[in-house]
Amino acid sequence: MCGRFVIAGNKADLIDAFDVDESLVDEVEPSWNVAPTNTVQLVVERLDPETGELTRRLEPARWGLIPSWAKSAAVGARMINARSETVLEKPSFRAAALKRRGIVPADGYYEWRKNDDGSKTPLYLHDPDGAALGFAGLYEFWRDPATASEEHPQGSWVVSCTIITRPASDALGEIHDRTPVIVPPVLRGDWLDPRNDSRPAVQELLDAIPDPHLVPRRVGTRVGSVRNNGPDLIEPLPDDVTADGEQQMLL
């Protein structure tokens, strides 16, 4: 799964990395410990019904998808991830999978590897060359009744999103049984294009996305608390040292 991640770039970095045409955010505040219900950045494409032109946009969204029919935003905390195997079937996700696909930019993400003694080791996974990652996501619109006013009797709109995951393979599977679906640059246009709106087309898109090649880095336990933030969270810990003084590699 993906429950914590890093977004350390600024708005200009994201515009450049994801070929964004238009931004709805003033600036991107870096975070080394993004957690569920936080505001994240979302890359989407909108189709002009008159001209047929696509515009790629960067906009803020709440992490944790809130279905349009939800009574409360609290349900979003349980929908930070969507399984690729069932995303076209689950009522909470299937409409968004056809019409509202997005990409959540990240520098990397955290997983906690379970050890034989029951403890967990936090790892930071990232691109070996430091390139930005694009998590495959879905987004939805929801009216917040708590914000109802004379001007907006049904409440203001909230944009929320989820990150799609799939079974992990190879080395990643040794860390956690699931991994985010990461859209490579060559497939981002197809993934974002709202004109790809049939079940077969979306399934084909999901099947075409390759498994990522990521590098794990052992990091400190401070990342376990959402109160902690800062670039020190992704600093690598030294290799384990055995009793005889020899270094023991992580993987």
Residue 154 has pLDDT above 80, yes or no: no
Amino acid at 178: R
Active site residues: 2, 111
Mean pLDDT taken over the chain: 90
Region 185-198: mean pLDDT is: 97
Token pair recorded at residue 64: 């944790």
Per-residue pLDDT, averaged over 76-81, amounts to 95
Looking at residue 246, what is its pLDDT?
34
Give the pairing of strands 54-63 and 156-167: parallel
115 pLDDT band (50/70/90 cuts)?
confident
**From CA 32, how far away is CA 225, in angstroms rounded?**
12
pTM over 0.75? The answer is yes
Residue 173 binned pLDDT confidence (cut-offs 50, 70, 90):
low
8: left (phi over 0), alpha (psi -120 to 50) or beta: alpha
214's tokens: 């990521």
Query: Distances from the Cα of 190 to the Cαs of 46, 66, 87, 136, in angstroms?
Result: 13, 25, 17, 12
With 80 as the cut, is the pLDDT of residue 214 above it?
yes
pLDDT tens per residue across span 45-67: 999 999 999 999 999 999 999 99
pLDDT given for residue 26 in this prediction: 87
**Spatial CB neighbours of 168, under 8 Å, sequence gap ≥ 6:** 175, 176, 177, 178, 179
**Would you give the distance in Å from CA 203 to the centre of its chain?**
19
230-250 per-position pLDDT tens digit? 999 999 987 643 333 333 334
E strand or H helix at 109? strand 108-114
Other C-beta atoms lying within 10 Å of the C-beta of residue 15: 18
| pLDDT tens digits along 10-55 | 999 999 999 999 999 888 999 999 999 999 999 999 999 999 999 9
Which range is least confidently modeled, 12-16, 124-128, 142-146, 219-223? 142-146
Residue 135: pLDDT band (50, 70, 90) is very high
Q: What angle do CA 58, 185, 129 make, to 5 degrees?
A: 105
Element spanning 123, H or E:
strand 120-126
Q: Average pLDDT of 215-221?
A: 94
Residue 1: its pLDDT value, please? Answer: 61
